[in-house]
C-alpha cells in the first residue's frame, strides 16, 4: 500500500516527532506507521535553540538522509517555508526527495510547506506573520512541479488563525487545496469548535493533519478522538524532546550531586542493552564476513 492510499483510509495515521536516526529507529520498533521529522525538534536538539527559523535546509536534509538510511517507514518532513521563494521551494523538494528516498515501495514521503514569512517561528508561538495567499499558492505549484516521484506528497500548512483569524485560515486552506496540495495542516486550532469546523469543511476531501503540542494552543486530544472528528494524520512533534529534556535534567543533576549514576541504573540500558538496540552484533558479524574475504585474497 502506498502512503497516498494509506491516507485515504479513515483510520488515523499517528506519527510521532523524531529528530535523528536514533529516535526514528525507536519509533519504528514501537510499531508506528510513519514518523514526523520535526523542524522544531531539530532546532531543539541540534542547535539547542528555539524554533524561530534558525535551522537551514541543509541541516534538515542531512538529518533526513540519515533517518532514511535507518528506517523504512514513511516520513513526513517539516520543510518550514521551503527556505525561500518558489525557486528555493523547488530546490528544497528536489533535495529532500533525494535524501528521503520516498519513491521506494512502501515508504513514501510528505513534504510540509507553510505560509509564514521568513524567518518563521513555531506555530504555537506568538508574533507570526504571513506571506500573501497568492505567493503561497505559487510555492505549492512550484513544489508540485519539482517533485519527481508519485510517492512524494505535498502538505500545505497555514498559520493564519493567529494572524488573520479562522475564516481567513479556511479560505487559505481552500486556495492551497485548489493549488494541488495533497494534504492540509491548519495550525494552532484553538478549541474543539475550530477543530470540528476544519474537519466539516475539508476532512472528506483531503487528508487533514492535527498537531498535538503539549502546552500549545490546540487542545490535546487522543488520536482516536481526532480520528472520530475526521483527522487522518495526527502528529506529536515535540513530545519526545520534552520528555528527554526532563530525563536529561534528572541525569545531570543526579550525576553532579552523587558523582555516580548508580541511582539511575534501573532507568538506563546497560552497555550490552544499548548495543543490542542499535544492532552492534549484526554489524560486527557483517564486518567479519568482509574481513574473511580480504584475508583469503591476501593469502593468494
Closest CA to 190 of 171, 172, 163: 163
Residue 296's pLDDT is 54
Residue 102's pLDDT is 64
Return the DSSP state at 36.
Answer: E
Contact call for residues 50 and 43 (beta carbons, < 8 A): yes
Residue 254's pLDDT is 98
Domain spans, the chain = 3-237, 245-299
Which phi and psi angles does 201 have, rounded to 5°? Answer: -85, -35
Contact call for residues 56 and 39 (beta carbons, < 8 A): no
Residue 274's pLDDT is 97
Contact call for residues 254 and 267 (beta carbons, < 8 A): no
The per-residue DSSP string of 246-267 comes to HHHHHHHHHHHHHSSSGGGGGG
Question: Which CATH number among 3.40.50.880, 3.90.226.10, 1.10.220.110, 3.20.20.60 corresponds to the domain 3-237?
Answer: 3.20.20.60
Neighbour count for residue 219 (Cβ, 10 Å) = 14
Q: Which three cell numbers stand for residue 197?
A: 469546523
Residue 107's pLDDT is 83
Residue 1's pLDDT is 84
Residue 285 sits at the vertex; the CA angle it makes with 281 and 290, to the nearest 5 degrees, is: 150
| pLDDT of the chain, 300 residues: tens digit per residue | 889 999 999 999 999 999 999 999 999 999 999 999 999 999 999 999 999 999 999 999 999 999 999 999 999 999 999 999 999 999 999 999 999 986 676 689 999 999 999 999 999 999 999 999 999 999 999 999 999 999 999 999 999 999 999 999 999 999 999 999 999 999 999 999 999 999 999 999 999 999 999 999 999 999 999 999 999 999 999 999 999 999 999 999 999 999 999 999 999 999 999 999 999 999 999 999 898 655 555 555
Which phi and psi angles does 264 have, rounded to 5°? Answer: -110, 0
Contact call for residues 72 and 106 (beta carbons, < 8 A): yes
Closest CA to 176 of 193, 197, 198, 154: 154
Amino acid at each position: 500500500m502506498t502512503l497516498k492510499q494509506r491516507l485515504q483510509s479513515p483510520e488515523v495515521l499517528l506519527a510521532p516527532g523524531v529528530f535523528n536516526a536514533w529516535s526514528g529507529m525507536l519509533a519504528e520498533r514501537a510499531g508506528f506507521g510513519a514518523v514526523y521529522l520535526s523542524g522544531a525538534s531539530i532546532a531543539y536538539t541540534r542547535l539547542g535553540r528555539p524554533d524561530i527559523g534558525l535551522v537551514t535546509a541543509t541541516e534538515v536534509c542531512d538529518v533526513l538522509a540519515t533517518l532514511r538510511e535507518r528506517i523504512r517507514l514513511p516520513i513526513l518532513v517539516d520543510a518550514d517555508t521551503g527556505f525561500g521563494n518558489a525557486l528555493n521551494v523547488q530546490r528544497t523538494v528536489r533535495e529532500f526527495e533525494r535524501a528521503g528516498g520516498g519513491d521506494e515501495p512502501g515508504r513514501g514521503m510528505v513534504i510540509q510547506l507553510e505560509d509564514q514569512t521568513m524567518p518563521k517561528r513555531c506555530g504555537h508561538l506568538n508574533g507570526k506573520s504571513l506571506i500573501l495567499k497568492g505567493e503561497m499558492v505559487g510555492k505549492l505549484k512550484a513544489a508540485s512541479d519539482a517533485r519527481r516521484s508519485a510517492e512524494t506528497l505535498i502538505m500545505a500548512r497555514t498559520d493564519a488563525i493567529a494572524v488573520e483569524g479562522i475564516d481567513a485560515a479556511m479560505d487559505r486552506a481552500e486556495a492551497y487545496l485548489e493549488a494541488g496540495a495533497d494534504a492540509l495542516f491548519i495550525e494552532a486550532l484553538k478549541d474543539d469548535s475550530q477543530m470540528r469546523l476544519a474537519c466539516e469543511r475539508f476532512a472528506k476531501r483531503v487528508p487533514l493533519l492535527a498537531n498535538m503540542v503539549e502546552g500549545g494552543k490546540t487542545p490535546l486530544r487522543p488520536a482516536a478522538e481526532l480520528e472520530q472528528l475526521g483527522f487522518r494524520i495526527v502528529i506529536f512533534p515535540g513530545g519526545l524532546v520534552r520528555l528527554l529534556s526532563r530525563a536529561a535534567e534528572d541525569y545531570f543533576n543526579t550525576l553532579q550531586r552523587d558523582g555516580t549514576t548508580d541511582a539511575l541504573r534501573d532507568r538506563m540500558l546497560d552497555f550490552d542493552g544499548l548495543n543490542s538496540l542499535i544492532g552492534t552484533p549484526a554489524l560486527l558479524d557483517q564486518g567479519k564476513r568482509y574481513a574473511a574475504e580480504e584475508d583469503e585474497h591476501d593469502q593468494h
